[in-house]
Chain A
Amino acid sequence: MQKTYYDPADLKKFGKISEWNEELGKKFFDYYAKVFEEGALSEREKSLIALAVAHTIQCPYCIDAYTGDGLQRGITKEEMMEALHVAAAIRGGASLVHGVQMMNKVNKLDM
């Protein structure tokens, strides 16, 4: 049995998901490909969003994929790190903004 849950080699097998449900697999990958095409946002901007989201959902496959993708697009490490701080700020902010709820509750219950 494999000793870790994640194996970098598994990322390359992502496409095999379709083997057990071709219809939904195909729909997903078509959608995925379409999402990353240049539109109102550039492919470069989408790659940075993907990198930030990858860190938010803490997906090792996605971090691997979109760090490599960024380098190929000429995205600098400074740009990557700024994108991550956006993710971190939203994530941290999401915890902290609930502090208002805590404060409301304390203010209501506390004498």
Chain B
Amino acid sequence: MVTKSLHKRESDLANSKRQLEILSNGIFRSGDLPKFAHKIAETNQFPLKAKKLEILQINLGYMCNQVCEHCHVDAGPDRKEIMTKETMLQCLDVIKKTGAHTLDLTGGAPEMNPNFRWFVDEASKVGIKDFIVRSNLTIIKSNKKFADLPEFFKSHNVHVVSSMPHWTKGKTDKQRGTGVFDQSIEALKELNAIGYGIPGSNLRLDLVYNPSGAFLPGNQTSLEKDFKKSLLEDFNIQFHNLFAITNLPISRFLDYLIASDNYEDYMYALVEAYNPAAVKNVMCTNTLSVSWNGFLYDCDFNQMLELPVNSNAKHISDYNEELLYNRDIVISQHCYGCTAGAGSSCQGSVT
């Protein structure tokens, strides 16, 4: 069981340049597998271009109460990168003028940012259509000071999106840590009790499913059906939608793939499942990711690989939607993760 981030362990893979080297060498350098740029060029989709901005995703920091084995953020209690109030103020300026219909707060555990509640308070006043907070559920049960989070979310009409890798304890705890399943179930019951996730309720509660190993997610609709049936029968829990997300070969998941000798097979599986139709809707074309220190990225994965946007507007302080529009998306071989099968994004499958 992983207990420390790659950064804390001073692992080679804590370095994003090292990760990018791995993703460009070996089977991709030898030509056994085509590089992502070549693959999308086959269907005249290179370069990928940014379309109209729809989702502004802000990472409030890499600190987290959990240390999940597959985490692409390398988040954990030992990460100290946290967005300052000054950067939050710059984000608020952008939230007020953006044409994006969705604001998506993520982390780490975004709730661990000391200014989280103030920021949600201010951001919710802007009246963005869909205001998402990615909450890992256990945070609610981790400390008394977080116990009223469900009510706080409700009072700000926040759309809660939470991770749940399986409907059984064994598979959940293996990926996310001992005790995570029971705490998540408790937190879901609390959210249900105040109206979250109930059919017909405006209080949206969606779950995110990541495979707990070196395999791709199955059909999102079937998985949602199985999750709903089991959570209802076993725990009387309800939720709205399930987002099936493919694990991208970066950070801790890359570390796991290499350590378990699954890296090459996983990359083969991603490339074999490549779906040109998914390329049309990859999230980087309608999303912008803002890091804890205010820099702009095409997606959360590029943020972790430290691949900044290809635009003169590189920081939230010089944000300009016109400048960012139609920019070339920065790609590498990890992008195969978003184009496999039905495609994958922070909102689940894309086809």
- Closest-by-CB residue of A relative to B227 is A74
Closest-by-CB residue of A relative to B209 is A74
Q: Tell yes or no: B168 within 8 A of A by CB.
A: yes
What is the total number of residues of chain A having a CB less than 8 Å from a CB of chain B? Answer: 11
Q: Which residue of A lies closest to B212 (CB)?
A: A71
Q: Are A74 and B226 in contact (CB under 8 A)?
A: yes
Q: Is the CB of B167 within 8 A of A74?
A: yes
Do the beta carbons of B215 and A71 come within 8 Å of each other?
A: yes
Say whether B211 faces chain A, with CB atoms less than 8 Å apart: yes
B166 CB–A CB distance under 8 Å? yes
- Asked whether B195 is an interface residue with its Cβ less than 8 Å from the other chain, the reply is no
State A76–B218 Cα separation when bound (angstroms): 13
Decide if B213 touches A44 in the complex (CB within 8 Å): no
Do B215 and A74 touch (CB < 8 A)?
Answer: no
CB atoms of A76 and B168 under 8 A apart:
yes
A69 to B269, CA, bound (A): 12
Decide yes or no whether A73 CB sits under 8 A from chain B. Answer: yes
List residues of chain A with CB within 8 A of the CB of B213. 71
Query: With A12-B272, A44-B226 in contact, do A74 and B170 touch (Cβ < 8 Å)?
Result: no
Main secondary structure of the interface of A (DSSP, over half): helix
For window 124-176 of B, CB contacts with A under 8 Å fall at: 166-168, 170-171
Q: 1/0 per position for B213-227, CB-CB distance to A under 8 A?
A: 101111100110011
B272 touching A73 by the CB < 8 A rule?
A: no
Nearest CB of chain A from residue B209's CB, rounded to whole Å:
8
A107 at the interface (CB under 8 A from B): no
User: Within the assembled complex, what's the spacing in Å between the Cα atoms of A61 and B244?
Assistant: 27
Closest residue of chain B to A12 (Cβ to Cβ) is B272
- Complex-state Cα separation, A12 to B272, whole angstroms: 9
**Partner pick for A72 among B167, B170, B211, B272, CB 8 A cutoff:** B211
Complex contact A72–B226 (CB within 8 A): no
State which of A12, A68, A73, A76 has its C-beta within 8 Å of the C-beta of B222.
A73
